[in-house]
Amino acid sequence: MKIQKSVLVLLILVGLVLPLAVPSAALAQTGEEPTGFQNVWLKIYPEYDDPRLLVMMQGKIEGVTAPAKVRFLVPAAAEMYSAGSMDAQGVYSGGPPDRKASDIPGWDEISYTVKTDTFRMEYYDPIILGNPEKSISYEFRWLYPISGLDVYFQEPRRAADFTVSPPGRAISFEGFNAIHYSYSGLDDEPPLRFDITYTRSDRRPSLEITDGGGTMSSTAAIVAGVILVIVVVGFFWFRRKPAPRARADRRRATRSTAAPRPASRPAPGPGQVKARFCTGCGQPVESKARFCTGCGQPVESNARFCAHCGAKLT
C-alpha cells in the first residue's frame, strides 16, 4: 500500500513539473539555426543611391521557428547597412550584426537573431572599377541550402552597353532595366560568379537622375522644340485674322441696318426706259450712279469712301 502511494505521489509530481519544463526546453532552442532558406531574392544595384555596389538579400528561414540565429558571408570590405527581420506588414526591425573574419580569405561572417521567419540583409561593396568604362566582379556565397533564389542586376541610369556574364534574361524591374536569373536547389555548389561591365560618365547615383538617359532627353528636347514652333506660328496666324473679320462684321452690321428691299420692283411701262435699282434698298437710281461694293449703297460719283460703311471706293 505504501508503494502504491509513493508511485501515485511521483506521478502527480511529474504531471506538475512537466508542463513547466516544456516551455523551458522550447526557449532553449531559440538559438538554433535554420536548416535552409526559401523564397530568397538577391538584388545587385550598381551606383543606385551611392557610388558603390548595393547588395540586398531577403528570404524565409526553414526548419526552425523564429527567433533563430542566421549567418551570412559578406566581403571583408563591405559596409553593413542593415541586418534584421521583416514582419508580415513589411516593417523592418534590426540592428548591427555580430561580425568576424571567416575561414575564406577576403570574406567576413555576420550573424544575428532573426525575430520573424523573414530575414533582410543589405551592404555596400566598393568593388566598382574604372571610369567611365566600369567593371564589377561579383561573387555570391551562402552558408545554408537555398531552395529557391532570384537574382536581379539593375542597370544604372545614364549607363550604356550594360552587360552581365553569364547572360541572363533582360526585364524591366522596379522602373529600371535589369538582368534576371533564377536558381533552385543550391547546396554545396561553387559560389555564383558574375561579371558586369558598362559605360557611364555621370557620377550621380541613379536615384538622383529622373530620366533614363541622353536619348530620352534629346527626344524630349525635339518634341519641346516642335511644340514651340507650332505655338509661335499659331500666335502670328491668329493675330493676322481679326482685321478681315472686323471688316466683314462691319459690312454685315451695315447691311442689317439698311432699309429693307421691296418685295418687287415696278415693271417699266410702254415707252419707258428701264431704270437701275439700288441693291441695298431697291429704289430706282440714276443710270450713272455708283454703288459701294462693300454694302451695296449708292454713293456720290466723286466720293472716295462710302458714307454708309466707310469702305474705300474704287
Q: Which residues pair with 285 in a beta bridge?
A: 276
What distances in angstroms separate CA 272 from CA 275, 285, 286, 289, one per listed residue?
Answer: 9, 15, 14, 19
Where in the chain are the domains?
A: 36-217, 257-262+273-314
Radius of gyration of the chain (CA): 46
pLDDT value for 148: 98
The sign of the torsion formed by the CA atoms of 233, 235, 240, 246 equals: positive
Whether 76 and 110 have beta carbons less than 8 Å apart is answered as no
pLDDT at 3 over 70: no
Stronger pLDDT, 67 or 235, i.e. the higher one: 67
Residue 269 has a pLDDT of 54
Mean pLDDT of the 177-187 span: 97
**In terms of pLDDT, which residue wins out, 31 or 201?**
201
**Residue 292: pLDDT band by 50, 70, 90 thresholds?**
confident
CB 275 within 8 A of CB 266: no
pLDDT of 199? 98
Per DSSP, 132 falls in state S
280 or 301, which is more confident? 301
Write out pLDDT tens, residues 212-266. 444 344 445 565 666 776 876 677 666 665 555 554 455 555 455 555 554 554 5
Give me the CATH code for the 36-217 domain, please: 2.60.40
Least confident of 49-53, 192-196, 272-276: 272-276
Residue with cell 536558381: 183
Mean pLDDT calculated for residue range 161-184:
98
Average pLDDT over residues 56-62: 98
pLDDT for position 103: 96
> Using one digit for the tens of pLDDT, what is the confidence trace for 76-126?
999 999 999 999 999 999 989 999 999 999 999 999 999 999 999 999 999
Model pLDDT, residue 299: 72
d(CA 249, CA 240) in angstroms, rounded, equals: 16
Q: pLDDT band at residue 160, thresholds of 50, 70 and 90?
A: very high
